[in-house]
Amino acid sequence: MSRTQVVLLLMSVCQLSIMHGQDCPSRQELQSSLRQVHKLLSAHETSYMQSLRTLRKKLNLLQTSAARLPAKPNNVTCPKLEAPANGKKMGKILLPGHEVHFLCDPGYELVGSETRQCKDSLTWSGQQPLCRDINECSSSPCLNGGTCENEVNGFVCLCAKGWAGATCQSPLPTFFITITNTSAATAVGAAGAAGASVPPPATTSPLVRPSHCTHTQGTTHCTCDPGYTISGRDTSVCTDIDECELFHMGQAGRLCLHTCVNTAGGYRCACPVGYNLTRDGRNCKDIDECANRQHNCNQDQLCINTYGGFQCVKVECPRMRNATYVKTTPLRCERNPCPLDNRACSQAPNSVSYHYLAVVSDLSAPRVMFRVSAMRMIGDTLRFSLLGGPRARRHFTVQRSDRQTGQLMLVSPVSGPATLEAEVEMSELERRMLLGRYITKVTIFVSPYDF
Ligand SMILES: [Ca+2]
Ligand SMILES: [Ca+2]
């Protein structure tokens, strides 16, 4: 309050006294009052100046500490995470509350955390995952003394003598083993070495060779190079054994898993496009184009390895009129929260998951293809059902395997190439009230061959 204001106030007090029929204060009284007001004002002024000085000090302190702060604050993100070897990392935002997901390449299993979240403390939840090669040999798949060699996404059986087939399940005829033990390469070498001492062959065909004859005590004994035999009466000529023709028999004893090619003095097996011949020379092994980066899928697509090929798939979240979805992992979409009292939205599936399987043609059936389990249960009942009408029912059925698990069964063998689709719904209820619906869409790629 300024001095002018105080004087005006005193004058107003005098006017007010006159209005109420009282006398104005005497000059002495007025001067005494004015002195008191002066004192009061001086006290206020001192205190005011004191406050101002304190405020200025505080301001200066703040300015000094502000000058000491770094130009731009750092460390507001979690540290960068690396993708595991033989796997991928999905998610790039390193801010608190965001998640990063990890996936392993086919043939590898994830050990550690599938999902890690950036915490407010700017550290990651969980542990850095590893992609461990699945050891397919651990179940001892090679029969009859075969040796199993673990490979990425598969295994190879090196069969003991006398056995053949992917798991060494097929016996070979014993007399056959004795003639095929010498490979075509060594047979050709032997012929070259013998060429100088034997008469020239009657024909230039590599399928015909002269025999090796010895004369003792009036009898002639003729033998052939491995893979050749004397046919007809002319013992001087050996012809190639067509092993493919000779052993053209059923599954149990077949020489080659796919195609047999007869060669001079031997034979070789061949595989269709998309397969490599295995080290035993008889079986065909799928090429994993996804792992070998031999695919042409674009960045929006996932590469799914199949027997004899690969598929590029694009996972798109469902589009519905009443509900919207967001992709929470590369293979899963979750419903966004529904507005209150929007019944149509709350009855839409809570999540839709996508799974891709590759199988060979003519798998024996019935057979479990896929299991769906509830991770945690809130309600009192889980129901599993197959969606998709009669077309899906032709190949599949859904059964419960335990209280919290349903399984998709293949009911009849399917000849490839074919692509089958099935949708399994798991619904959770509490006293018959629907709590949630979870859909799993399974796509099965069936190879053109039974391998
Ligand atoms: Ca041959
Ligand atoms: Ca493949």
Domain of 200, CATH number, reads 2.10.25.10
pLDDT band at 24 (very low <50, low <70, confident <90, very high): low
More confidently predicted of 70 and 338: 338
What is residue 129's DSSP assignment? -
- Please name the helix (run of DSSP H) or strand (run of DSSP E) that holds residue 45, with its range, or none: helix 27-68
Within this chain, do residues 307 and 427 fall inside the same structural domain, yes or no? yes
What is the distance in A from the centroid of ligand 1 to the CA of 417?
A: 32
Q: Are residues 251 and 366 in the same domain?
A: no
Task: Say how many Å lie between the CA of residue 268 and the centre of ligand 1.
Answer: 9
Say if residue 307 is in the same domain as residue 281: no
Q: Ligand 1: distance of its center to the CA of 210 in Å? A: 16
Residue 169 lies in a domain: no
**Would you report the helix, strand and coil content of the chain in percent, each value rounded to 5?**
20, 35, 45
pLDDT of residue 218: 84
Mean pLDDT within 297-308 = 95
User: Where does the pLDDT of residue 276 fall: very low under 50, low under 70, confident under 90, or very high at 90 and above?
Assistant: very high
Residues 346 and 400 occupy one common structural domain: yes
pLDDT at 179 over 70: no
Of residues 380, 385, 367, 355, the one with CA closest to residue 445: 355
Residues 80-126 pLDDT 10s: 999 999 888 888 888 888 888 888 887 788 888 888 988 888 899 98
The verdict on 178 and 123 lying in the same domain is: no
Residue type, 140: S
* Amino acid at site 166: A
Stretch 210-236: mean pLDDT: 86
From the CA of 226, the nearest ligand is 1
329 membership: H or E segment, kind and range: strand 325-329
Taking the centre of ligand 2 as the mean of its atom positions, its distance from the CA of residue 305, in whole angstroms, is: 5
Output the pLDDT for position 171: 65
> 351 and 245, same structural domain?
no
Confidence band of 3 (pLDDT split at 50, 70, 90)? very low
Task: Confirm if 116 and 99 have CB atoms less than 8 A apart.
Answer: yes
Q: Check whether 167 has a pLDDT greater than 80.
A: no
Q: How far is the CA of 282 from the centre of ligand 1 (A)?
A: 15
Q: Are residues 336 and 409 in the same domain?
A: yes
- Same domain for 246 and 190: yes
Q: Are 118 and 81 in contact (CB under 8 A)?
A: no
User: Residue 115 is part of a domain; what is its CATH number?
Assistant: 2.10.70.10
Last-in-domain residue among 14, 41, 68: 68
Compute the average pLDDT of residues 283-291: 95
**Ligand 1 mean position, distance from CA 169 (Å):** 24
The answer to whether residue 208 sits within a structural domain is yes
User: Would you say residue 242 lies in a domain?
Assistant: yes
Q: How confident is the model at residue 32 (pLDDT cuts 50, 70, 90)?
A: confident
Quote the pLDDT of residue 26.
81
**Any bridge partners for residue 90, and if so which?**
101
For the entire predicted model, the pTM comes to: 0.54
Same domain, 333 and 373: yes
Tell how far the Cα of 151 is from the centroid of ligand 2, in angstroms: 14
41: tokens are 């004002």
Query: Which ligand has the shortest distance to the CA of 243?
Result: 1
Q: Which of 36, 68, 100 is the endpoint of a domain?
A: 68
Report pLDDT for 22: 55
* Residue 29 within a domain: yes
Same domain? 130 vs 180: no
Dihedrals phi, psi of 354, to nearest 5 degrees: -120, 135
**34 assigned to some structural domain:** yes
Q: Does residue 410 or residue 65 have the better pLDDT?
A: 410
Q: Which of 187-191, 219-223, 390-394, 404-408 has the highest mean pLDDT?
A: 404-408
Position with higher pLDDT, 422 vs 379: 422
273 Cα: distance to centroid of ligand 2 (angstroms): 10
- Nearest ligand, measured from the Cα of 241: 1
Which carries the bigger pLDDT value, residue 195 or residue 4?
Answer: 4
- Closest ligand to C-alpha of residue 238 is 1
Mean pLDDT calculated for residue range 288-309: 94
Pick the last residue of a domain from 259, 286, 313. 286
How far apart are the CA of 212 and the centre of ligand 2, in A? Answer: 48
Together in a domain, 280 and 307 = no
Write the DSSP assignment of 253-277 as a string of letters. G-S-SSEEEEETTEEEEE--TTEEE
Residue bearing the bigger pLDDT, 36 or 177: 36
What band does 4 get if pLDDT is binned at 50, 70 and 90?
A: very low
CA 258–ligand 1 middle distance (angstroms): 17
Task: Out of 136-140, 196-200, 376-380, 445-449, pick the least confident.
Answer: 196-200
Residue 136 C-beta-side C-alpha neighbours within 13 Å: 17
CA pair distance 146, 162, nearest whole angstrom: 10
Ligand nearest the Cα atom of residue 188: 1
Q: What is the distance in A from the centroid of ligand 2 to the CA of 292?
A: 10
Does 435 have pLDDT greater than 70? yes
Q: Is residue 161 domain-resident?
A: no
Instruction: State the pLDDT confidence band at 196, using cuts at 50, 70 and 90.
Output: very low
pLDDT of 199 reads 42
What is the total count of domains within the chain?
4
| Ligand 1 centroid, distance to 159 Cα (angstroms) | 22
Residue 74 pLDDT level (bands cut at 50, 70, 90): low
The string over 224-244, giving b where at least 16 C-beta atoms fall within 10 Å of a residue's C-beta and e elsewhere, is: bbbbbeeeeeeeebbbbbebb
Q: How many residues does the chain have?
A: 451
- CATH code of the domain in which 413 resides: 2.60.40.60
Name the DSSP letter for residue 218. T
Q: Can you give the pLDDT at residue 187?
A: 32
Residue 310 sits at φ, ψ, to 5 deg, of: -155, 165
- Pairwise CA distance, residues 317 & 443, whole Å: 15
Q: Among 6-15, 72-81, 285-294, name the most confident range.
A: 285-294
**What mean pLDDT is reported for the chain?**
82
Distance between Cα 387 and ligand 2 center (Å):
29
How far, in Å, from the CA of 287 to the mean position of ligand 2?
4
Cβ partners under 8 Å of residue 257, min gap 6: 165, 166, 269, 271, 282, 283, 284, 451
Residues 6+ apart with CB under 8 A from 91: 98, 99, 100, 101
Span from the CA of 243 to the centroid of ligand 1 (angstroms): 5
Ligand 1 centroid distance, CA of 279 (Å): 20
Contact 94, 134 (CB under 8 A): no
The lowest-confidence range among 16-25, 120-129, 290-299, 351-360 is: 16-25
Give residue 198's domain range: 174-286
CA atoms within 13 A on the CB side of 334: 5
124 domain residue, yes or no: yes
Among all chains, which residue has been given the structure tokens 């090619």? Answer: 261
CA of 23 to the centre of ligand 1 (A): 145
Neighbours of 90 (CB within 10 A): 14
Q: Do residues 104 and 225 both lie within one domain?
A: no
pLDDT on residue 88: 86
Residue 190, in any domain of the structure: yes
Q: How far is the CA of 34 from the centre of ligand 2 (A)?
A: 104
Average pLDDT over residues 349-361: 96
